[in-house]
Structure 1
Amino acid sequence: YSEYFNKEESTAFDNAMSDSFEGIGVQFQVKGGEMVVISALDDTPASKAGLQPNDVIVSVDGTELKDKTTQEVMKLIRGPKGSEVKLVIRRGGSSFEVKLTRDTIPNYSVTSNLDEQDKTIAHIKIIQFGENTAKELENAVKKAREDGAKSFIFDLRNDPGGLLSQALAIGNMFLKDGDVILQTQERGSDPTVFSADTKLYGDFKITEPYVFLVDGGSASASEILAAAIKENTKHDLVGEKTFGKGTVQQVLNQSDLGELKLTIAKWLTPKGDWIHKQGIEPTVAVEQEPVAKAVSLSYDDTLAKGQSNDGVKNLALILRALGYELESTEYFDDKMEAAVKAFQKDKGLTEDGQVTGKTADALNEATREYLKSHDVQYDKAKEVLKQGNNS
């Protein structure tokens, strides 16, 4: 597989790996001529709108995406901060429209904080594998240690991957010299083995107890790291099966002509398995709550009594998670209208029982806040960590 970037497209691609940019924060790949979502980066318009791994982006502002290149789609999706973009998304057998407001998407790749209940646990999220991710991770771990952290939860959820060099450098932090991080294999050739080596990748090591969080948005470089941990150590992967992207791309600079992005090899796990389209199974399987898969409610559309559609099903997921009683999850009946009115009363909104405008926005915000405090995968990771089997 190859893809040519002209000079303008080349600059946009390079910026996506190193600087902030303005867009919606979605990572996708071309599969069968369609744009398939790998992940929506956390706290971006795409994640707030509820985009999920394996969603298909059918169109952008009315332009069909079938058989378009990655760069053509990036041009359509990106735009000035504050501008709106309309996507048609296909999920399973149904399609729906989402409207998003573009924002600045920062390309820092690591965030860290101490657990609110137990300050000896640091939650470190690797957002993507960019140019400086290994150094960012090293600094985050050092700072967490200074702040009293004695164990770590490393979060690879919705991490679409990135640079192979960073996956190798980070894998080296967790493994002993000689442990295999991954193998790559070009067509017709024997595999090339990449092993942990302090002389090559540095001597910074993470020796405290730790677990990793993974899900269906963990892809590519994040899967390389997850597989290295799973096959070399006794530390757990908590969450859901990963995305399954087992190819290696290389970008060749063609000077003033632009760049050529080539799929040059497949990568294999330390034991030699190819996880492409298969993913990596967690050692401790935990599904997120159903509302985590809910789609953002539309500000412009209206959901009201008497309707029965995907929007109503989506609304039911949200209302139930927020603690409102319902009888039907597929039909907007009297009980659902009463639940909406109760929510509106709680938020000081007009109590008309319809979901549109400010009510839709308030429900979306309430859902985001709910998920922040009801992360069952993170809670399980804490439980597993405290059991003492990940030292």
Structure 2
Amino acid sequence: MKRKFSETTLILSIGGSFLVGMILTFIVLNSRFNFSTLGDISQVYQNINHNYYQKVSPKQLKNGAIKGMVNSLDDPYSQFLADEEQTSFNEDIASEISGIGVTIEKADQGIKIVSVVKNSPAQKAGLRVNDLITKIASHSTNKMSTEKATTLTRGKKGTKVKLQLKRQQLTFNKTLQRQPIKVPTVSGKLLTDDRMIGQITITQFSERTAKELQQQVKKLKNKGARKLIIDVRSNNGGLMDQAIEAASMFLPNGRNIMTLASRADGNITYKASSKYLNNYKVKLPTVVLVDKETASAAEIFAAALQQSGHLTVVGENTFGKGVAQTMTPLNDTSEMKITTAKWLTPNHDWINKKGLSPNVKVKYPSYMNIKPFTDTQILSLNSHNNDVKIAQQILQALGYDVPKSGVLDDQTVQQLKLWQMQNKVDPSGNLDVSTRQSLTQDLVKKAQADDPMQQKAVTILKEK
């Protein structure tokens, strides 16, 4: 997304990789700034440039100085972004990446494709689910993390990446041209047990989220939905304008959505309005799901529906990010964001570091706190490893009789073999990468089936 350098951008998210919104007027440096204070900086620059024992590029020194100033704020949300960091940031702004269009996971001998995006370069090149990527460019994927593989497959639009792949016994090469891949932020479905209830999940607030939400509501209504669950759990924020526009759908015009309070501009209150999505309104009974990872723009959305829409919010206290950042482009390859404002809920609460309190508090099952696997080595009988303890915790949550000793003893091996046979995994009794992945997936399925927050939302909706 191309932006003029005379613009700054407001950011409402907890991550460095998500999300930007609402173009503001350019903030000009105060004319009273004492430029003589830059003398020390210039002196340090010159000293390093001339006397450091190795040659240092001017760009490296300049970026280091900017990072140092931003880091001195001791603010986790203020950042200086340059080169690849800026590119990644801007891709997430638009919920668009330039890549090949696959979802991947770690496998025993490389990186496995678990889904292929429709009409993507990967699909057009004939890549399939379960294909194993064994090389990306000249890099072997045998011990490569999924994060590294993702970085290597992404790049500038139109550039090419060469893959070596294995499909059963066939090994072959493909060269793919990276293209923009649109990542939807909203998905929806009718509940299996009650087809009159539609559940919509919003993963983040990016450039088209409000429109995608409107489309999902219409689609579910056409399928018979008469009540809605809006799930913003694990949504760590995004574009403020999209959160406002999405919230306006559920509120009578004129109701407060949020107030932005800044030193430069004072207080600005945003209200539900007919200007959003052609005054489209959702009048179905609705419950909102939140958790401790619901943050920033997602908190704006949930707070507005709770306090101005009087809708029920179910789950845990939210993350509590009540501040906003302004994005200022510096040049073609760098930009900076600093905290410039705080925001208040319709009740004028500042939820920073406190979070939004749901109307109905519901906790996740304790097994949801099991930590992820950290190793990839194959562990066999009598192995002692923290991953063994994690596997034992998962097996216990799935109903298998194992200790939590951290030792792959006879009892654990036998129960692990039983689980492997029941889940069509090689019944070796070993804890390998495939078993780790399948155990994790099985636990996720259980969590989805056991979801106490969703169950509470359904109970509330059935009473309406």
TM-score after normalising by structure 1: 0.73
Q: 1:21 to 1:374 in 2, by over 3 A?
A: farther
Change (3 A) 1:117 1:182: same
1:138 paired with 2:211, answer: no
Structure 2 residue identity aligned to 1:158: S
- Partner SS state of residue 328, structure 2: strand
2:185 maps to what in 1? 109
> Amino acid of the residue matched to residue 79 of structure 1?
L
Residue 359 of structure 2: which of 256, 268, 283 is its match? 283
Q: Deviation per CA, 1:54-105, whole angstroms, max 9, x where unpaired?
A: xxxxxxxxxxxxxxxxxxxx9998332799xxxxxxxxxxxxxxxxxxxx98
Question: Contact 1:125–1:156 at 8 Å: present in 2 too?
Answer: yes
Q: How does 1:50-65 map to 2 (within 5 A)?
A: none
More deviation, 129-138/179-188: 179-188
1:298 Cα deviation from its structure 2 partner: 5.5
Match for residue 198 of structure 1 among 265, 271, 274: 274
Q: Show the 5 A alignment for 1:242-261.
A: 242-254=318-330, 256=332, 258-261=334-337
Report the equivalent of 2:244. Answer: 168
Distance 1:360 1:76, change over 3 A: closer
Q: 2:398 maps to what in 1?
A: 322
- Separation of aligned partners in 1, 2:427 and 2:276: 64
How much has 1:309 moved relative to structure 2? 5.4
The runs of 5 or more residues in structure 1 that have no matched partner are: 26-42, 44-73, 84-103
Distance in 2 (CA, whole Å) between partners of 1:224 and 1:254 is 29
Larger radius of gyration: 2
Give the deviation of 1:160 after TM superposition.
1.1
Instruction: Check conservation: 1:230, 1:236, Cα contact below 8 A.
Output: yes
Tell me the residue number matched to 2:16: none
Change (3 A) 1:212 1:157: same
Counterpart pick for 1:356 among 429, 432, 456: 432
Instruction: Give the counterpart of 1:79 among 146, 152, 159.
Output: 152
Q: CA deviation at 1:304?
A: 5.0
After superposition, the CA RMSD in angstroms is: 3.2
In the TM superposition, what whole-angstrom CA distance separates every residue of 1:100-148 from its partner, at most 9, and x where no partner exists? xxxx985211111111121111111111100111111111111111111
1:297-376 correspondence to structure 2 within 5 Å: 297=373, 300-303=376-379, 306=382, 310-328=386-404, 332-376=408-452
Alpha carbons of structure 1 residues 137 and 251: separation in structure 2 relative to 1, 3 Å? same
Which of 135, 154, 175 is equivalent to 2:230?
154
1:266-289 per-position Cα deviation (integer Å, ceiling 9, x unaligned): 111111221112111221122222
1:232 aligns with 2:308: yes
**How many Å apart are 1:303 and its aligned residue?**
4.5
Q: 1:350 to 1:221 in 2, by over 3 A?
A: closer
Give the 3 Å change call, closer, same or farther, for CA 307–387 of structure 1 in structure 2: farther
Question: Quick one: distance in 2 between partners of 1:268 and 1:76?
Answer: 40
Does the alignment pair 1:20 with 2:93? no
Query: Per the alignment, do residues 76 and 312 of structure 1 end up closer, same or farther by CA in structure 2, a change over 3 Å counting?
Result: closer
Q: Write out per-residue CA displacement over residues 22-79 of structure 1, whole angstroms, 9 at most, x where no aligned residue.
A: 6999xxxxxxxxxxxxxxxxx9xxxxxxxxxxxxxxxxxxxxxxxxxxxxxx999833
Do the aligned residues in 1 keep the contact of 2:236 with 2:297 (CA within 8 Å)?
Answer: yes
Distance 1:24 1:295, change over 3 A: farther
d(CA) in 1 for partners of 2:261 and 2:102? 34
1:332-357 alpha-carbon deviations (Å, 9 max, x no partner): 54433332122133245554433123
Structure-1 residue corresponding to 2:195: 119
The answer as to whether partners of 1:7 and 1:259 remain within 8 angstroms in 2 is no
Percent identity for Structure 1 against Structure 2: 33
Q: Which digits, 9 at most, give the CA deviation of each residue in 1:294-331, with x for residues without a partner?
A: 34435723455556654333222210222212344665
SS state at 2:249 partner: helix
Listed as ranges, the gaps of 5+ residues in structure 2 are: 1-74, 104-114, 116-146, 155-160, 163-179
Corresponding letter in the other structure for 2:251: L
What is the count of residue pairs matched by the alignment?
Answer: 322
State the SS of the aligned residue for 2:188.
Answer: strand
Distance 1:6 1:337, change over 3 A: closer
Mapped to 2, the partners of 1:105 and 1:360 lie a distance apart of: 29
The residue type equivalent to 1:379 in the other structure is Q
1:94 matched to which residue of 2?
A: none
Secondary structure at the aligned position of 1:78 is classed as helix
Q: Which of 176, 186, 205 is residue 129 of structure 1 equivalent to?
A: 205
**Is the Cα–Cα contact under 8 Å of residues 24 and 105 in structure 1 kept in the other structure?**
no
- One-letter code of the match for 1:109? T
Letter paired with 1:126:
I
User: Which residue number corresponds to residue 51 of structure 1?
Assistant: none
What's the TM-score once normalised by structure 2's chain length?
Answer: 0.62
Q: What amino acid is aligned across from residue 382 of structure 1 in structure 2?
A: V
Which residue in 2 is equivalent to 1:264? 340
Residue equivalent to 1:55:
none
Query: Do the aligned partners of 2:392 and 2:403 also contact (CA within 8 Å) in 1?
Result: no
Contact 1:252/1:260 (<8 A) preserved:
yes
Query: Equivalents in 1 of 2:262, 2:148: separation in Å?
Result: 31
Deviates more, 1:172-181 or 1:199-208: 199-208
Q: Given the superposition, is the C-alpha separation of residues 181 and 289 from structure 1 closer, same or farther in structure 2, using an over 3 Å criterion?
A: same
